Amino acid sequence: MMYSMLYNATPMEKIMARSTDITSFTDHRRYLRDHLRQVQETGRPLFVTTNGETNAVVMSPQAYDALADKAELAESLAMLDRSKEDIRTGRTQPAKSALKRIADELGLQLNR
């Protein structure tokens, strides 16, 4: 449920969450338990500011894990896009010859 609350919100809801979930460093220190409960219950991050600038973002472990999973997926998709472009433009070679070239560059002897 926390995942759907955080990631299935409309773009406007995500913007609204960011503008309402802000606290100062002083208040965060004073109300730490309340803030931790808030991020657990809402699934939204809490932005901690000093002199009006965000210094930290507090989020639940579930929200962090979901964000990390999305980042990993994005990196994998970007790598696949680069690989497809390499294939499309002919920047590939058979694995056997690539391994031989790498071994030669490193001064290694392959067993096969």
* Tens of pLDDT, residues 10-65: 444 444 445 669 999 999 999 999 999 999 998 999 999 999 899 999 999 999 99
pTM, full prediction: 0.62
Q: What is the pLDDT of residue 111?
A: 84
Amino acid residing at 87: I
Q: What is the pLDDT of residue 6?
A: 41
Amino acid residing at 71: A
Distance set, CA 72 to CA 12, 76, 87 (Å): 25, 6, 23
36 in Cβ contact with 13 (< 8 Å): no
